[in-house]
Amino acid sequence: MSKPLILVSNDDGITSKGIRVLVSAMQKLGEVVVVAPDSPQSGMGHAITIGETLRLTEEETFQGIKAYKSSGTPADCVKLAKHYILKDRSPDLIVSGINHGSNTSISVLYSGTMSAAIEGALEGYPSIGFSLCDYSSDAEFSHVEEWVEKIANQVLQNGIPKGIALNVNFPPKQKENIKGIKVCRQAEAKWQEEFDERVDPNGRRYFWLAGNFVNFDKGEDNDEWAIANNYIAIVPCQYDLTAHHAISQMNKNWNWDELK
């Protein structure tokens, strides 16, 4: 039987440390093709390039692996892979990351890493976004590669429900081994933001986004709790943002006849 075809992307750029670790893990499971941004695209969310040129160049960063870098966003990279690079083939799995920094809780909405995974789910492919909850410049990835391989293999063997992408976050390396995996929900947390007003050398005003992450969630069944307690957090995410529970409530309590 032929090996599974695995598409690898990310948002930190094709030269990042995390994507090298991810490619290494995926090579143990199947045939790997890489399509990733040519520069960091963190915080791009699900942005796509419209009205501007998209560049795509073959890259020799990964020996023996077909790899391409794109001027576009992570979502662009998955689109280019599906419609151009792999137009006559279908990937068995799409993986994104390993992101350098957390994508737990509300950060999933802003994450370029998860946008690549969610774009894969939109196209009907099993998809996973991997992130390491460590922002330090010398973050250690050695403790996650084995887990990345195991989780990806589980998806290849068992599949994911249609329209779902997995948001996988790893705790930073600690003295004790990772305790295990928690399949959990997204924590109720958010960034309390502020804009720092500054002046550039030419006397022109500009702003720098700052703020603090605040966790309001006291539960023990969410991704923030899992990471804080040295577990891997896996949150199944869907691109259907419909608040289904609100439909019946609005139809029952709102007087739509007044608007006729």
Half-sphere exposure of 8 (CA within 13 A, CB side): 33
Residue for token pair 């924590």:
187
Q: Are 166 and 236 in contact (CB under 8 A)?
A: yes
Distance CA 184, CA 130 (A): 15
Note whether 102 and 227 are within 8 A (CB).
yes
CA distances from 71 to 8, 58, 118 (A): 16, 12, 19
Q: Find the helix or strand (DSSP H, E) in which 224 lies.
A: helix 223-228
Write out the binding residues.
Answer: 11-12, 42, 99
Binding site feature residues for a divalent metal cation: 11-12, 42, 99
